[in-house]
Structure 1
Amino acid sequence: MTKTASPAPRSIDETLDMLTAADYVADRSVATVLFLSLRMKRPLFLEGEAGVGKTEIAKVLAKALGRRLIRLQCYEGLDVSSAVYEWNYAAQMIEIRMDEASGSVDRSQLERNVFSEKYLIRRPVLDALTGEEGNAPVFLIDELDRTDEAFEAFLLEILSDFQVTVPELGTIKAKEPPIVVITTNRTREIHDALKRRCLYHWVDYPDAARELEIVRRKVPDANRRLSAEIVRFIQKLRELDLFKVPGVAETIDWASALTELDKVALDPETISDTIGVLLKYQDDIARIEQGEGRRILKEVKAELSTAE
């Protein structure tokens, strides 16, 4: 039985409420571009640093609208057979052998049999184009910047017409275009031709108030004082010239880890013992352990004491 999709939000405020209800703490600019993307039926292009919540937007959208989420995880060397479709060659060979063994082989009929829907393996792109009308899936193209320009050009054609040609079967066109969300961490520039077909939004790190709300929603068991210290500490870390500053995902992980350790406040030893949850490069970790961590912690404690 096909699950009925929920109607799209009718205003920016409804979009914001939809995201909040799914525990995604968004600002109004995110809600605005998401609302426009849904109303205008245009792909949404989200750019920003890793870990700021770009992928989560697609997940929340699929859940809130009751749509299937189809995810194409991009990587270097991604090709059509991995992204769009391929034939089940093993099953085709078995079919050919069985027909040959039966002694009655009609070559044209055999070709029609083995190149039929039965043996077609649908990869994410083709799968996204075969949703039912009124219940098209959310199609997440994640980290597009990891692919090469050739695949980007191929994707441009897909997003233009929402159809794919399978030589043996013909053209497969979407009854209703999927809701497309594209993310990139900006490790390379994406061609303007693709961006022009999308609505663009830069997803930045949240301010302290919004990040604290995220922690309280995602790690509700965390001590409130600890949550406040974690957020302020990370906000100050992002001001440093680190190789990779922590994203919101790391903030949530750190709050979860410290809660598992029954911590109620930050201290130098705790920071040193758990810094690997927060930072992923040794040079960054060494810098924090050589004095920056203590300095930031001291500032955080002083600010919170003053605020109280």
Structure 2
Amino acid sequence: MTASLPASVEDTLALLGQGQYVADTPLATALHLALQLKRPLFLEGEAGVGKTEIAKVLSETLGRKLIRLQCYEGLDVSSAVYEWNYSRQMLEIRMAEAQGGADRKALAADLFSDEFLIKRPILQALEPTEGGAPVLLIDELDRTDEPFEAFLLEVLSDYQVTIPEIGPFKAEEPPIVIITSNRTREIHDALKRRCFYYWVDYPNAERELEILRKKAPTAPEDLSRQVVAFVHELRKMDLFKQPGVAETIDWTHALVQLDYLALDPSAVDNTLGVLLKYQDDIQKIQGSEANRILTQVRTELAMAG
């Protein structure tokens, strides 16, 4: 069932909450404006802070179809927008030749029609969809090349794609566009100007604890508090890759699965591979450093009451 767009920032916060997404007011404001003014929302931030999840939650709570374009180096128009079904076109040509007397101009027009068009995510997002315009997630745009960014300018400005053989395809209703970037490289200003921008940072301890209450509800409260405090200490350190919220959730689930009611040195050392993704970081934390952080965490939580 399709839901209407939220009418206020408070409604946007409530909508995200329905999808178990714990947002703050600035993020809800940026999202509300993007929805109401029909502008793409460009979300930038470290990996694992919940950027992609926003598109998924919007799709679920608004009852809209989610169309995801996962970006990668070398992504081109044929993979992201459209391509022609060459095998079917060749078959059509051979059938026409076998029948004889085919009108070449008519055949050429038929070959480059919707019937032979393979629609990729961006073109699919511009088509009319039952239940309202879909949510188009362009995920990790920073992984693509600059030429693909340039192509997106037409899509984000006019919500249309021009196919040379057919002409422009323009959306009757603009899709809800969420673009994410992990900032492995800078995205060109021309593309950012077409979007509303929001930097998704790591949550503070209070909000991350609330996230765990929603995403790992079976975890004991003491364990969740210790996990959050431990992770926040790690984020202050010079690591190759600091743990994101996704890793915090995964680590909590792992500890619960192993029946830990609270953190101890063995629990940390045995499960660091869930939290940290690089061996150099694991070696840096394992053992005495993990024990030092854990002692500090226990002391701070005890003082906080």
Q: TM-score range by the shorter chain?
A: over 0.9
Match of 1:76 in 2: 73
SS at match of 1:258: helix
Amino acid in structure 2 at the alignment position of 1:179: I
2:260 paired residue among 240, 263, 268? 263
Residue pair 1:131, 1:178 contacting (<8 A) in 2 also:
no
Amino acid in structure 1 at the alignment position of 2:137: L
2:84 paired residue among 84, 87, 91? 87
Aligned-partner Cα distance in 2 for 1:230–1:133? 43
SS at match of 1:175: coil
Aligned-partner Cα distance in 2 for 1:118–1:26? 44
Deviation at 1:290, TM superposition (A): 4.4
Residue pair 1:99, 1:105 contacting (<8 A) in 2 also:
yes
Match of 1:135 in 2: 132
| 1:219 corresponds to 2:216 | yes
| 1:279 corresponds to 2:276 | yes
Residue pair 2:64, 2:131 contacting (<8 A) in 1 also:
no
- Normalising by structure 1, what TM-score? 0.95
Match of 1:253 in 2: 250
Match of 2:189 in 1: 192
| 1:115 corresponds to 2:112 | yes
Deviation at 1:13, TM superposition (A): 0.6
RMSD over aligned Cα atoms: 1.4
Aligned-partner Cα distance in 2 for 1:24–1:160? 29
Residue pair 1:70, 1:138 contacting (<8 A) in 2 also:
yes
2:95 paired residue among 87, 93, 98? 98
Change (3 A) 1:38 1:261: same
Identity %: 65
Residue pair 2:265, 2:287 contacting (<8 A) in 1 also:
no
SS at match of 1:51: coil
5+ unaligned residues in a row in structure 2: which ranges? none
Per-residue CA distance 1:141-187 (angstroms, 9 max, x = gap) = 11111111111111112211111111222211111111111111111
| 1:232 corresponds to 2:229 | yes
Q: How does 1:192-211 map to 2 (within 5 A)?
A: 192-211=189-208
Q: How does 1:13-162 map to 2 (within 5 A)?
A: 13-132=10-129, 135-162=132-159
Deviation at 1:134, TM superposition (A): 7.3
Deviation at 1:114, TM superposition (A): 2.2
Residue pair 1:44, 1:198 contacting (<8 A) in 2 also:
yes
Match of 1:181 in 2: 178
